[in-house]
Structure 1
Amino acid sequence: MKRSGPLYTLLGGLLLALFMLSLNATTGTRSTSYGGDAPGGASPAPSASKPAKDAPSATPTESASRSPSESPSKSPSKRPPGKSEYAGRTADDVAAVSVSVRDDKAIAYYCNGRDAESWLKGDVEDDGSMRLTGKNGAKLEGTLADNAVRGTVEVGKQPRDFTAARAKKPSGLYRATTEVRGAEIDGGWIVLPDGRQVGIVKRDGTPRKAPLLDPETGVVVVDGDRLTARSVVP
């Protein structure tokens, strides 16, 4: 009996040591896994996180890099404002051509001074181009630039190049239409920059060379009758 006492004491000490080791192991595992259980309620140190894939880029946006206005500016119109007149001759010197322009409208007159004439009208584009049409397929295609109209006029299926320079009064285009003693009178005149006149007067549709008019007043005498020709305005 005396020998069993120390044996029990040794066994009890071993059991106590095993219990303490087990307790320490359990406590250490919990402290590592749950940092929130540390004294004072301190939270675990945050771990380094990767940047989010959808985080916005620090580079400037595309709209910021664009110019304030990407729409092209409109080119200024080549048409002179208000009314302007042009007069000249065809390249073969067969006929005269006059063009009267007001804003985006134009009226033109082709005349050989004997038996062929045509009145044409149409629009003038911002770039100065124009396409005018008249009776019996007459047409004029030209461009207004540098104080002149240049192009081609076709009357009687005969195209002719022409140049009509800017005209200043009394040069320009004139017309008189009236009825005299039961007859229809229709006359057209082109006064060129050098003072020459080219015109035709029709009496009931029959053409003939027009008499000279006074460009300052527009007065003209036709078969003894005094008429007044007016400046043509589109």
Structure 2
Amino acid sequence: MKRPGPLFTLLAGVVLAGGIGITNLVTGTGVTPVAGAANAAGAPSATEAPRTEPPKTAPPKTSEAPKSDAPARADYAGRVEGGGASVAVSIRDGHAIAYVCDGKKVEAWLQGVTVGGKLDLKGPKDASLAGSYNTAAVTGSVTAGGRTWRFTAGPAKKPAGLYRAAPKVRGKASKAGWIVQADGSQVGILTTDDQSAAAPVLDPAARTATVEGALVVAEPISGVDGAGEF
């Protein structure tokens, strides 16, 4: 019996290889994917970072300047910290007048302008008052007679507040100032020829006081009522 010739063997191998290829096509196995094929279909590759949308930021908010609650007209009366003196402040349309008094010797009248709820008042002999105010209170520091006090004074409703008079004492021009507190207590000084002493008691309702037997009418200083000269 003759062995198959070389040609027959070669043909059999070709047929066998072709059969294997057809089987692979039918079953879908044995095919090596081509690199980049997935990318061509639109899928991200393993090395490509996923795309993210940039974060959306809200538009910046415009800041508004804080509104001052400082009243255009106001009256305050109170005492310094630690006691020893009283303070009254009246404010009217950008101007202010204040009076500090210890009821004995130390007193000072101060005046100045107001800007944005701030006070910067000046008086004779280096007297000064600096502070701020709103609808609830005025607070700051006051200097008079070589002393400086911190203070907070609340709103003063009549008859509380600031009063002054210019009586004659033994034929000489004098001046008097009073601070009446909300509880009805008061303190004042009468000055004649640079000599100071406690002022006589003021009747706030009648706005009168008796100075050496003579009836004196006191003038109220009020930013709210518009009384008195600033």
Question: Shorter-chain TM-score category?
Answer: 0.5 to 0.7
> Aligned-pair distance for 1:178?
3.5
8 Å Cα contact 1:168-1:193 kept in structure 2: yes
Q: 1:179-223 CA distances to partner (integer Å, 9 max, x unpaired)?
A: 355211200000001100000011233111011111012111001
Q: Which of 74, 82, 94 is 1:84 aligned to?
A: 74
The structure with more helix, counted as a fraction of residues: 1
RMSD: 1.9
Q: Which of 184, 197, 201 is 1:212 aligned to?
A: 201
How far, CA to CA, are the matches of 1:74 and 1:102 in structure 2? 24
1:154 aligns with 2:143: yes
8 Å Cα contact 1:85-1:101 kept in structure 2: yes
Q: Which of 99, 104, 109 is 1:109 aligned to?
A: 99
1:131 aligns with 2:125: no
Q: Secondary structure at the match of 2:82?
A: coil
Equivalence for 1:186: 175
Structure number, greater radius of gyration: 1
1:199 aligns with 2:188: yes
| Percent identity between the two aligned chains | 41
- Residue correspondence of structure 1 range 51-66 to structure 2 within 5 A: none
**Gaps (5+ residues) in structure 1?**
1-65
TM-score w.r.t. structure 1 length? 0.65
8 Å Cα contact 1:120-1:132 kept in structure 2: yes
How far, CA to CA, are the matches of 1:181 and 1:211 in structure 2? 15
TM-score w.r.t. structure 2 length? 0.66
8 Å Cα contact 1:79-1:104 kept in structure 2: no
How far, CA to CA, are the matches of 2:175 and 2:220 in structure 1? 14
8 Å Cα contact 1:213-1:220 kept in structure 2: yes
Q: 1:9-33 CA distances to partner (integer Å, 9 max, x unpaired)?
A: xxxxxxxxxxxxxxxxxxxxxxxxx
> Aligned-pair distance for 1:75?
4.8
